[in-house]
Copies of this chain bind each other. A is one copy, B any other.
Amino acid sequence: MNAYSAIVTKRDTRAFAPRPVPDEVLRRILQAGRMAGSSKNTQPCRFVVLRSPERRAALAACGDFAKHMPDAPLCIAVVLTPGGGAFDAGRAAQNMMVAAWAEGVTSCPTSMHHPACARETLSLPADHHVAIVLAMGYPAATGNDRPGRARLPLDGYVHWEQWDGRRE
């Protein structure tokens, strides 16, 4: 899939087929996360890969809206090391999700509302935290057709040279 198509057709969906994600596809997804740039090249992200059903269920208990995680054959926790910021986590996560989608693997970022739970479940050092968990898998045949809220038109996103307050 070309880059533009992969980027603009990627949707966050959370209904997964049980078919596992092959190791070679997983390797490309992780490599995409690794190659994301970061502030001053501090490389603050680490990735904890969860494929065991028990581990995914345990981590799902740390999020308030994570019921889809046990059904996702692959979860990747994006961990921030000390000093790392959410902007860099977003860059790495988006790289992984777009690379996954280019291989037909859909994904949904999942927040951990209970950070201590997530840290303990993953045995993280005390000064590390989970920025997000990416639930991933091939799409289920049904269940991904929620209409969702439509995107604003492009004109609603873009201002020229400076903010146009008349448009708010």
Q: Is the CB of A47 within 8 A of B159?
A: yes
Expressed in whole angstroms, the Cα–Cα distance for A1 and B6 within the complex equals: 11
Expressed in whole angstroms, the Cα–Cα distance for A3 and B35 within the complex equals: 13
Interface residues contributed by chain A, number (CB under 8 Å): 74
Q: Which of A8, A28, A85, A122 has the most CB of B within 10 A?
A: A8
Question: Chain B residue with minimal CB distance to A12?
Answer: B37
Expressed in whole angstroms, the Cα–Cα distance for A149 and B94 within the complex equals: 22
Find chain B residues with CB under 8 A from A8 CB. 31-32, 35
Q: Is the CB of B157 within 8 A of A34?
A: yes
A41-B87 contact, Cβ under 8 Å, with A3-B6, A55-B161, A158-B49: no
Sorted from nearest, which 5 A-B pairs have the closest CB atoms?
Answer: A90-B90, A3-B102, A3-B6, A86-B86, A12-B37
Please list the residues of chain A having a beta carbon within 8 angstroms of any beta carbon in chain B. 1-12, 27-28, 30-37, 39, 41, 43, 45-52, 55, 79, 85-91, 93-95, 97-99, 101-102, 109, 111, 121-125, 128, 131-132, 148-149, 151-152, 154, 157-163, 165, 168
